[in-house]
Amino acid sequence: MSLIILYYRCFDEIFLTWDQSKNELESFIQTMNQENILIQVEYTASIDVDYLDANISWIDDDDHDDGPNKYQLETMVNHSSTAEPYALPYIDDDSSTKNFSKLIRSALIRAILSCSDVYQFQLEREYIELSFTVNQFSLLFIQKHICSFLREIFIDVFEFRNYRASLYGTLRQRVIDHDRKCRQKKLSLL
């Protein structure tokens, strides 16, 4: 039976899904490491991984013990790779321009793209607020930018302390579409 797997690489970091046994994965990695003595890979295989600035977990959820669908996909921003906790989120290459409203904007876009769940998003929004507060920005300044971003992407109906999943779902879809359009633009320039 043929299985569908994911495979992607970003520079020296590779992400893939594996549906066979761990032994088979190990022998696959061994083959990779025999190909070129100077190109050696180390691997982690788990149900909870950090990949670039993303955290992805595929966990057995005890709370939803009903039927076969008790596994839950949970996604969030991975902060462990940043140099210090609550450092300003310099995500894009061009954010070194000290344009802080742009910085808040890209942090929010990353948060929304990364968090499939509204609760994870709200935790991430609090993290963003805290990061900027630690770096001497007033809470008012930060929240003003968060609000204006949400108003731009969405409509002013989205109160940002909102925990309604359906509203967040619509907001997220818009950000995903926006991100896709940016990529489409980039592809058409190639």
Output the smallest distance, CB 146 to another protein, in A: 18
Residues 59, 87: Cα–Cα separation, whole Å? 29
Which residues on neighbouring strands pair with residue 55, listed in sequence order?
Answer: 50, 76
Could you say whether residue 87 binds another protein (CB under 8 A)? no
Output the smallest distance, CB 22 to another protein, in A: 7
Of 113, 123, 147, 167, the one binding another protein (CB under 8 A) is 113
Of 23, 30, 44, 80, the one binding another protein (CB under 8 A) is 44
Could you say whether residue 12 binds another protein (CB under 8 A)? yes
Could you say whether residue 6 binds another protein (CB under 8 A)? yes
Could you say whether residue 185 binds another protein (CB under 8 A)? no
Q: Are strands 71-77 and 48-51 parallel, antiparallel or unpaired?
A: unpaired
- Which of 77/153 has CB closer to another protein? 77
Residues 113, 179: Cα–Cα separation, whole Å? 9
Rg (CA), the chain: 20
Residues 81, 75: Cα–Cα separation, whole Å? 16
Q: Which amino acid is at 39?
A: I
Helix axes 165-189, 100-114, angle to 10 degrees: 110
113 exposure class (CB count in 10 Å sphere: 0-12, 13-18, 19+): middle
Output the smallest distance, CB 139 to another protein, in A: 26
Residues 124, 126: Cα–Cα separation, whole Å? 5
Output the smallest distance, CB 14 to another protein, in A: 4
CA-closest candidate to residue 145, choices 179, 102, 176, 109? 102
Of 77, 107, 108, 142, the one binding another protein (CB under 8 A) is 77
Could you say whether residue 43 binds another protein (CB under 8 A)? yes
Number of residues that bind another protein (CB under 8 A): 65
Residues 87, 144: Cα–Cα separation, whole Å? 20
Could you say whether residue 48 binds another protein (CB under 8 A)? yes
Q: Applying CB under 8 A, which residues contact another protein? A: 2-19, 22, 25, 28-29, 31-32, 35-36, 38-54, 56-58, 60, 68, 71, 73, 75, 77-78, 91, 110, 113-114, 116, 176, 179-180, 183-184, 187, 190
